[in-house]
Structure 1
Amino acid sequence: MNYVSAENLTKSYGIKTLFKNISFHINEGDKIAIVAKNGTGKSTLLKIILGKEIADSGEVVINKDVQVVLFDQEIEFDSQLSVEEFMMTLDSKPIQALKNYHQSLHSTDQKFIEKALAEMEIHKAWDLETEMKQILSQLKITNLEAKMGTLSGGQIKRVALAKLLTETRAEHRHVLLIMDEPTNHLDVEMVEWLENYLSKAMITLLLVTHDRYFLDSVCDTVWEMEDQNLYVHNGSYATYLENKMIREDNLNATIDKANNLYRKELEWMRRQPKARTTKSKSRIDAFYDTEKVAKTNTKKQSLELDFEMKRLGKKILELKNINKSYGDLVLLKDFSYSFQRGEKVGIVGKNGAGKSTLLNIIQGLEPKNSGEIETGETIKFGYFSQKGLQYNEEERVIDFIKNISENFPLANGRTISASQFLRIFLFDDQTQYSPISKLSGGEKRRLHLMYVLYQNPNFLIFDEPTNDLDLPTLTVLENFLQNFAGCLIIVSHDRYFMDRIVDHVLAFEGDGKIKDFVGIFSEYRASSEVRGTSSEPKKETTQTNSNDFKQNQTPSNSTKKKLSFKEQRELETIEKEMPELEKKRAEILEKLNNEADYEKIAALSADLEKISEQLEEHEMRWLELQEMMS
């Protein structure tokens, strides 16, 4: 069944054309991810589909039986409503039937009671309340009486997400679910739950996300918006990268041919023939078309820059027995750590565990209860916070950066200009000379990032840098950080980003406990899942085998005896092999991002598909065995 059809859509703002004559179709069961640089029209396209904005030309047709539902980054709510009341504000017939049924329980009007019961049957709403509470529980929202105004930003996002998922379950019509960066401000556990839910749900989905693991697990099609066009890639993120490379190679070949023809035709044009016949006029028109192709710039800025960074001394940063609590809430308990030269550390943990507090304490922005901090004399912090920057909205982008310095220093006394540095981070000339007020939300985040990096710090501290950044910018940032010779601390829920950058994890595990894990983030997640992470004390090991797992069993897990000997052995094998498969998958994705040879990309893509299938089979069997034990 066709849900949405669009033909020849064009949209411009002033002289800037976002997209031109694009066409697409969305069919039932499609799970589509949109990949594009910020400011190229992702949000505008979503608004046109939702009917909130009108295209300059072209047409969008939505099937009359399809309801379009949006999960936006901006969530509107009445702060005085309880969580349960907020959930019941859903505008759907099954929800209304459920509300009438609750009222009928306190009514003596027999006709009203009969009508309410009939509506529950008609709209199949009997299990809806249970499903709603199950979704809220899975998203760690248990106090349904809490007022919305008392919840944290992350809790509000989870409640809104539960409401949306309930709506898609409640509506028995066909639903197109549109989600704009759904993983922002969710911790890893919640992201993985949502990823698992959406990948298995029978829904039609149009998704904007920067989380590449999430994208690969949930979506089977990638829409790429670039150069005013829309390109459709059927397959994974790796398939999109492969197709994009092939397209760019073909374009470069076309440009080479046009350059050869352009040189020949340029000689003819310079002779300026006096007789302007129809034939020569046609040749002149063809010359300008050739010139346009020949002068197409496809070169990407390289990040292989040799930075002239302030030298790191012998002492970097040392934390000794740091304690921090708010009343009974313990965030840090006797935490000690000594940072080494060039170390790249990832900090992970649930929202509210104290990650941002530690970053603030390190920089002296927040007091500690006790302990000592020794910072090297040569250390210059660069802090990218979640709060954003303060700036004059009417100031031009280039001037905002030049206020720091006209040039960025490289090794051997070389420099690059502020404009060149902006281009590296995907700000074209037109955008550089535009006022900051004209930037999209994602572009402002990118400017904030530029502001931090351009000050040339030697110790970077990033608090959720990937939120609202597009995938092209993330790739640029990852390449930048891989070449960064200073120290780096990253707090992020983006698993792919963490795997590419950090090789050491500090994990907040509750009650002030911080686990020091040497390895990439996926390895930490795999080992913590095998051990069953909780606030209980754990062995300080970086790897866990099946024997360790059996030794760490608690009485509550004694239900495993219900499995046969063969099933028990199968479960142990799966739990041992899943982390290894995850690691192999991460390694293949890493190679794909850095590979340019087409044959190698094709081979790696085949390996990735095979590993992903094995991993999915293991996950499904693991769930079956877990259900047998429950």
Structure 2
Amino acid sequence: MAEYIYTMMGVSKTVPPNREIIKDISLSFFPGAKIGVLGLNGSGKSTVLRIMAGIDQEYSGEARAQPGINIGYLSQEPQLEEDKTVRENVEAGMGEVKSLLTEFDDISAKFAEPMSDDEMNDLLARQAELQEQIDAADGWDLDRTMNMAAEALRLPPWDAVVKNLSGGEKRRVALCKLLLSSPDMLLLDEPTNHLDAETVAWLERYLHDFKGTIVAVTHDRYFLDNAAEWILELDRGHGIPWKGNYSSWLEQKEKRLEQESKQEQAHMKTIKHELEWVRTNPKGRRAKSKARLRQFEELQSKDFQKRNETNQIYIPPGPRLGESVIEFNNVSKAFGDKYLIEDLSFKVPQGAIVGIIGPNGAGKTTLFKMINGTEQPDEGTITVGPTVELAYVSQSREDLGSDKQLWQEVADGEEVIKVGNYSVPARAWLSRFNFKGADQQKQVKHLSGGERNRLQLAKVLKIGGNVLMLDEPTNDLDVETLRALEEAILNFAGSAMIISHDRWFLDRVATHILAFENNSQVEFFEGNYTEYEQDYKNRHGKSSQPERIKYRHLKK
């Protein structure tokens, strides 16, 4: 029998007030296995990783790694040395390799000194051991390795002090530090958050080739499809392993739900629709995207919208959307002495779903601010159509009250709320966003990141605009809510502009891509993310590779 790298026996965990979040989980992990962890927000995914990392000791049962195993853990809020630079933090993760190199150099210097044959043989033997260890860690060219990782993860400058960085930048520094520390086992809690689509694709390839064991909590379904060999689903406290990738897990999940008659019909419907998409070839997916634009009149009909009210998430339509939606003409916007956007022109068609991609800091959120009028372009014009009513879901979610209960935050104390043109019980509306029973009584300040995101969606989407502006709506969401959100957007009787790094999400919903490519250039492309990637390769003669962002300077 293969030796396991990590074993859990009868692990259970109870959280206040008295909820058993993990129930008697017994699992053994093979060396080199790549495991994706799935489950609803609040199902205990992060708790399992904290227990495995040795951080959470308050549990019953046994959880232990094989002796001598080096475990690397990325939390959702990683800790760094705040007063040190980016370089100093990353180098700290490579301390063992640096000490091996130092000892190797010291031994090399000693060969110039007089010594006995026995001393010489001992030094040669030790040097051979060191060389083997350095070879295994690929540690001979540390600076080159560090620079390659920094470019791929789009780190801030090496000399930037960590305390001055944003949350997303700190997370990328922590991820770089972790990957370069060469652990035997990686525990990753939402590693793709705050990464752009190109960097996520690079990370997927890196983890696919990683020789050690990976346990990753992630909503990135292309990673789960392309890199994961096992899926561990946390369902009502139990850990249910499945040997296979996300698509094969989806197939068996559909069959399992068919046998559980108590499951909601709407939940089954979203899984069936995603499976249909998974089974469709790329040409068929493109046809579906074009069909949305052709059939926009049907989407706007009252009968169609009435049929979709029963979906798990329903985005109510706003006023009827005219042909004029949003148009940019020769728009430029600078920040300091550099262009964020230079000479950008595009037109959003009626019914289009525009996925917006690009590195952090490229200008995506600034683009949204120019559309909603909170910032003005330096050059050019932006035209918002006369029938347009914007519904904007920001990334910050700062406008959520902290002391209110969930249902109060959404309903302002009313039992029945207006959702578009329809009246809906406030608690029924919240249940569509996977807030059910006692969860609706939670105070907002006690919510996880994914729960706050779902609450923000529930609060804003009930307004009923006809052009959605969503800034990273997929961050921290569990896969089931993601799937329901995709269905809701596909059935939405309006247009949408969505900033996202989630490639699966963009492939399923986007009819167009607006890509911040580098050097202040923005490309508007008709098609989904995969088609845009091929177009980029055709235009540049290579696949898009992540690198530190560059801006064009203002013309003198």
Shorter-chain TM-score range? 0.7 to 0.9
Which has the larger Rg?
1
1:11–1:56 contact (8 Å) kept in structure 2: yes
Partner of 1:419: 427
Partner of 1:403: 412
Equivalences for residues 108-123 of structure 1 within 5 A? 121-123=128-130
Question: Unmatched 5+ residue regions in structure 1?
Answer: 256-299, 537-630
Deviation of the 1:477 alpha carbon: 0.8
Say whether 1:59 aligns with 2:62. Answer: yes
Partner of 2:171: 157
2:231–2:243 contact (8 Å) kept in structure 1: yes
CA separation in 1, counterparts of 2:168 and 2:399?
23
Partner of 1:438: 446
Deviation of the 1:511 alpha carbon: 3.2
SS at match of 2:48: helix
Report the AA paired with residue 224 of structure 2: L
1:39–1:439 contact (8 Å) kept in structure 2: no
Partner of 2:26: 23
Determine which of 82, 85, 98 is the counterpart of 2:85.
82
Q: TM-score of the superposition, structure 2-length normalised?
A: 0.79
SS at match of 1:193: helix
Q: Deviations over 1:61-89 (max 9, x none)?
A: 32222222102232322344333322332
Say whether 1:455 aligns with 2:458. Answer: no
CA separation in 2, counterparts of 1:47 and 1:209?
15
1:333–1:513 contact (8 Å) kept in structure 2: yes
1:301–1:423 contact (8 Å) kept in structure 2: no
Determine which of 120, 128, 133 is the counterpart of 2:144.
133
Say whether 1:502 aligns with 2:510. Answer: yes
CA separation in 2, counterparts of 1:189 and 1:474?
20
Q: Deviations over 1:576-629 (max 9, x none)?
A: xxxxxxxxxxxxxxxxxxxxxxxxxxxxxxxxxxxxxxxxxxxxxxxxxxxxxx
Equivalences for residues 152-551 of structure 1 within 5 A? 154-168=168-182, 175-252=184-261, 302-303=311-312, 307-313=316-322, 315-403=324-412, 406-409=415-418, 414-532=422-540
Q: Deviations over 1:299-327 (max 9, x none)?
A: x9734858352333454333332210124
1:80–1:149 contact (8 Å) kept in structure 2: yes
Shift in CA distance, 102/363, structure 1 to aligned 2, threshold 3 Å: farther
SS at match of 1:342: coil
RMSD: 3.3
SS at match of 1:38: coil
Say whether 1:47 aligns with 2:50. Answer: yes
Deviation of the 1:366 alpha carbon: 2.0
Question: Unmatched 5+ residue regions in structure 2?
Answer: 115-119, 265-308, 545-556
Report the AA paired with residue 464 of structure 1: E
Q: Deviations over 1:476-512 (max 9, x none)?
A: 1111111111120011111100011111112222333
Deviation of the 1:441 alpha carbon: 2.1
Shift in CA distance, 535/221, structure 1 to aligned 2, threshold 3 Å: closer
Deviation of the 1:98 alpha carbon: 3.2
SS at match of 1:509: strand
2:388–2:467 contact (8 Å) kept in structure 1: yes
Report the AA paired with residue 136 of structure 1: N
SS at match of 1:485: coil
Shift in CA distance, 57/301, structure 1 to aligned 2, threshold 3 Å: farther
2:186–2:215 contact (8 Å) kept in structure 1: yes
Which structure has the highest helix share of the two? 1
Partner of 1:9: 11
Shift in CA distance, 253/389, structure 1 to aligned 2, threshold 3 Å: closer
Report the AA paired with residue 489 of structure 1: M
CA separation in 2, counterparts of 1:178 and 1:353?
30
Report the AA paired with residue 223 of structure 1: L
CA separation in 2, counterparts of 1:104 and 1:359?
59
1:392–1:436 contact (8 Å) kept in structure 2: yes
Shift in CA distance, 118/246, structure 1 to aligned 2, threshold 3 Å: same
Report the AA paired with residue 5 of structure 2: Y
Say whether 1:33 aligns with 2:36. Answer: yes
CA separation in 2, counterparts of 1:431 and 1:304?
17
1:87–1:163 contact (8 Å) kept in structure 2: yes
Shift in CA distance, 448/102, structure 1 to aligned 2, threshold 3 Å: farther
CA separation in 1, counterparts of 2:106 and 2:458?
56
Higher relative contact order by CA 8 Å / sep ≥ 6: 1 or 2?
2
1:511–1:535 contact (8 Å) kept in structure 2: no
Q: TM-score of the superposition, structure 1-length normalised?
A: 0.70
Shift in CA distance, 25/301, structure 1 to aligned 2, threshold 3 Å: farther
CA separation in 2, counterparts of 1:158 and 1:438?
26
SS at match of 1:128: coil
1:139–1:190 contact (8 Å) kept in structure 2: no
Deviation of the 1:416 alpha carbon: 1.9
Q: Deviations over 1:426-478 (max 9, x none)?
A: 11121001212332221112112222212222211111111111111111111
Percentage of identical aligned residues: 33
SS at match of 1:88: helix
Deviation of the 1:406 alpha carbon: 4.8
Deviation of the 1:57 alpha carbon: 2.6
